[in-house]
């Protein structure tokens, strides 16, 4: 039975094979075409004023807005100053969450007591949308920089803690035993074996945390800030300056892509061995 | 001269919940064994006979259920640098290059960077990898990695070397070269050595003494002295040694001993 169906399908397959183009279109080319198509449709829509320019400025206007933002600025600050304010917040928060998250992750990964204490805290925090606790943080910490950094750091914490504890727990038993048989104390096993083997996982956690933190940052700035890229968009929206709103969104997306790219480069530099385990 | 002693050692794993009741699973029973510095004791036996458990006991990774394991009369308390282990899957640290892997035990001891670098380079030279110090270990072949692993163990200046099927994952050609290499390293280091192996050839060729473990529970079922390693060390070719009638006769004898063991269901 199988024989007969095979014989029946073989010529068809050969036919399909022949009609297929020699080299399929690379994914990157398809993506480029998609972006071009979107930009094209956008241009057409604004050129024929299918949508009011107040709601959808032309791509040209947005580029102009970007230029003006960079040179003259908007609401008392240039684009660079807004972006700078945002970046300071996110990296401040990243440092804080690394300083807390890595030790917490180690505690969860290495000790039963640590896991017992910290697991419920992490599991409570993890599914919460950061904006849900932003008002509370503002009440506690005030409206200044500290509240934004706190909220961003809280949104970054779970992924750093969980990736650290996962990395710590995934350490090879032979690696630990080798160190012990070569004379390592408990502390040395932790410092020389467990932590290094957790680094790839920790870096992945940091990369995910940056993504989460960036989302939270923009949202937090929309709610309460007097500078920053999110604040810039919010102010522009209040005056219906749509071209600046769109320009700001583009900038946010570009920075997010850049951060992701940088994080991947750092991973490749720092742990080239991770792909060879 | 140091002596590693097993005195009436047994090992049982507690029955896991969900298994049939009936007490613990015996792995090793009534092991009495002495290994001196000038010996290379090869341990053979079928899978599940407890070979690796025996080595893990000697290393101190697991504690015996009864009996004691002692070095020069002092009972061991867990793992220590006097009993360095070489693993089947090398267990080298991928985040360190070959030199830093070898220097690892020296780092643990707090030897200054320059001194441990020098010592590691000497050891790498000794194992024939003088040029490989800066290379990441994932670039090295299986045989090279095992040599780095052996150099790392030697860096700890152990009194005993515990080799857990170090050649098990190597191809036949590399394996036979590594066998001679291990003989020479062992002779030079003067560390008493336990070699776990699946290969009767390897046990006969390398061991000054061969121990056969029979399964269920693992017991010492035979102990045989062998002198082939001395012949190889004094210059005889491995091929000639293996072709000798005595080697063949002992090979047949050991094969018989291993398969004569009661053929119960083998415990993992």
What is the Cβ-side half-sphere exposure of residue B178, based on CA atoms within 13 angstroms? 23
- Sheet containing B219-225: give its strands across: B83-86, B160-164, B192-196, B40-45, B209-214, B219-225
Residue pairs between chains A and B whose CB atoms are closer than 8 Å: 69
Task: Answer whether residue A4 shows pLDDT above 50.
Answer: no
Q: What is the pLDDT of residue A2?
A: 44
Q: What is the mean pLDDT of residues B190-199?
A: 91
ipTM: 0.87
Cβ contacts (< 8 Å) between B104 and chain A: which residues?
Answer: 179, 182, 192
In chain B, which residue's Cα lies nearest the Cα of A182? B81
Q: With CB atoms and an 8 Å threshold, state whether B91 touches A178.
A: yes
Q: What is the mean pLDDT of residues B229-239?
A: 86
- The 8-class DSSP code of residue B49 comes to S
The token pair at A125 is: 């925090």
Q: With CB atoms and an 8 Å threshold, state whether B61 touches A272.
A: no
Q: B220 falls in which pLDDT band (50, 70, 90)? A: confident
Q: What is the pLDDT of residue B4?
A: 92
Q: With CB atoms and an 8 Å threshold, state whether A177 touches B93.
A: no
Cβ contacts (< 8 Å) between A273 and chain B: which residues?
Answer: 94-95, 136, 138
Q: What is the mean pLDDT of residues A21-49?
A: 88
Cβ contacts (< 8 Å) between A186 and chain B: which residues?
Answer: none
Which tens digits make up the pLDDT trace of A228-264?
998 999 899 888 889 999 999 999 999 999 999 999 8
Q: What is the mean pLDDT of residues B172-199?
A: 88
Task: Answer whether residue A6 shows pLDDT above 80.
Answer: no
Query: At CA A218, angle to CA A216 and CA A222, rounded to 5?
Result: 115
Task: Answer whether residue A100 shows pLDDT above 90.
Answer: yes
Q: What is the pLDDT of residue B13?
A: 82
The token pair at A239 is: 């005056």
The token pair at A178 is: 């080798």
Q: With CB atoms and an 8 Å threshold, state whether A174 touches B81.
A: no
Quickly list H helices, chain A: 2-19, 27-47, 59-71, 79-110, 112-125, 130-141, 145-169, 173-181, 186-189, 195-223, 229-238, 242-270
Task: Answer whether residue A5 shows pLDDT above 90.
Answer: no
Q: B72 falls in which pLDDT band (50, 70, 90)? A: very high
Q: What is the mean pLDDT of chain B?
A: 87
Which tens digits make up the pLDDT trace of B28-46?
988 999 999 889 999 998 8
Q: What is the pLDDT of residue B59?
A: 93
Smallest CA–CA separation between A109 and chain B, in Å?
20
Q: What is the pLDDT of residue A138?
A: 87
Q: B18 falls in which pLDDT band (50, 70, 90)? A: low
Smallest CA–CA separation between A184 and chain B, in Å?
6
Q: What is the mean pLDDT of residues B211-218?
A: 86
Domains in chain A with CATH codes: 2-50 (no CATH), 67-276 (1.10.3720.10)
Task: Answer whether residue B22 shows pLDDT above 80.
Answer: no
Q: With CB atoms and an 8 Å threshold, state whether B94 touches A276.
A: yes
Q: B176 falls in which pLDDT band (50, 70, 90)? A: confident
Which of B 114-153 lie inside 8 A of A, CB atoms?
A: 136, 138, 152-153
- What SS3 class is residue A228? coil
Smallest CA–CA separation between A91 and chain B, in Å?
27
Which range, of A44-58, A86-100, B98-112, averages the lowest pLDDT? Answer: A44-58
Q: What is the mean pLDDT of chain A?
A: 87
Which tens digits make up the pLDDT trace of A107-160?
999 999 999 999 999 999 889 988 888 889 989 988 888 888 999 999 999 999
Task: Answer whether residue B49 shows pLDDT above 60.
Answer: yes
Contact residues of A toward B, CB < 8 A: 172, 174-175, 177-185, 188, 192-193, 196-197, 199, 271-273, 276-277
CA distance A230 to B112: 52
């Amino acid at each position: 039975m199988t024989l007969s169906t095979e014989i029946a399908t073989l010529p068809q397959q050969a036919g399909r094979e022949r009609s297929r183009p020699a080299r399929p279109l690379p994914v990157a080319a398809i993506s480029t075409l998609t972006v071009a198509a979107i930009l094209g449709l956008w241009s057409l829509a604004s050129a024929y004023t299918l949508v009011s320019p107040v709601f959808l400025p032309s791509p040209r206007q947005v580029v102009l807005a970007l230029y003006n933002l960079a040179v003259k600025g908007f609401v008392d600050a240039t684009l660079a100053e807004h972006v700078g304010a945002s970046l300071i917040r996110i990296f401040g928060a990243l440092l804080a969450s690394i300083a807390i998250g890595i030790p917490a992750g180690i505690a969860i990964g290495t000790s039963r007591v640590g896991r017992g204490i910290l697991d419920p805290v992490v599991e409570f925090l993890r599914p919460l949308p950061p904006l849900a606790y932003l008002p509370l943080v503002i009440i506690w910490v005030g409206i200044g920089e500290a509240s934004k950094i706190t909220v961003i750091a809280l949104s970054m914490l779970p992924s750093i803690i969980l990736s650290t504890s996962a990395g710590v727990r995934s350490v090879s038993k032979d690696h630990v035993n080798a160190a012990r048989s070569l004379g390592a104390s408990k502390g040395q096993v932790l410092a020389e074996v467990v932590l290094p083997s957790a680094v790839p996982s920790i870096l992945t956690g940091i990369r995910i945390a940056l993504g989460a933190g960036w989302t939270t940052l923009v949202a937090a700035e929309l709610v309460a800030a007097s500078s920053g890229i999110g604040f810039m968009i919010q102010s522009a929206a209040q005056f219906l300056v749509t071209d600046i709103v769109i320009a700001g969104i583009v900038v946010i997306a570009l920075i997010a892509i850049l951060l992701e790219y940088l994080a991947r480069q750092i991973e490749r530099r720092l742990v080239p061995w991770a792909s060879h385990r | 001269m140091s002596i590693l002693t097993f005195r009436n050692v047994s090992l049982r794993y507690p029955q896991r919940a969900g298994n049939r009741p009936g007490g613990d699973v015996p792995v090793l029973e009534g092991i009495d064994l002495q290994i001196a510095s000038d010996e290379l004791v090869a341990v053979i036996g079928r899978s599940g006979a407890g070979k690796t458990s025996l080595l893990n006991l000697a290393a101190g990774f697991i504690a015996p259920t009864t009996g004691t394991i002692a070095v020069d009369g002092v009972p061991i308390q867990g793992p220590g640098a006097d009993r360095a282990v070489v693993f089947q899957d090398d267990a080298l640290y991928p985040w360190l290059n070959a030199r830093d892997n070898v220097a690892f035990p020296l780092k643990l001891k707090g030897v200054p960077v320059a001194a441990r670098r020098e010592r590691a380079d000497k050891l790498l030279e000794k194992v024939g990898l003088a040029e490989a110090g800066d290379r990441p270990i994932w670039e090295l072949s299986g045989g090279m990695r095992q040599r780095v692993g052996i150099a790392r163990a030697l860096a700890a200046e152990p009194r005993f070397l515990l080799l857990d099927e170090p050649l098990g994952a190597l191809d036949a050609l590399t394996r036979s070269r590594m066998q001679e290499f291990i003989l020479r390293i062992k002779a030079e280091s003067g560390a008493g050595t336990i070699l776990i192996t699946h290969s009767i050839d390897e046990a006969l060729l390398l061991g000054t003494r061969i121990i056969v473990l029979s399964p269920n529970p693992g017991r010492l079922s035979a102990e045989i002295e062998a002198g082939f390693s001395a012949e190889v060390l004094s210059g005889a070719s491995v091929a000639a040694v293996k072709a000798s009638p005595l080697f063949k006769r002992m090979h047949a004898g050991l094969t018989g001993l291993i398969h004569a063991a009661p053929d119960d269901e083998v415990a993992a």
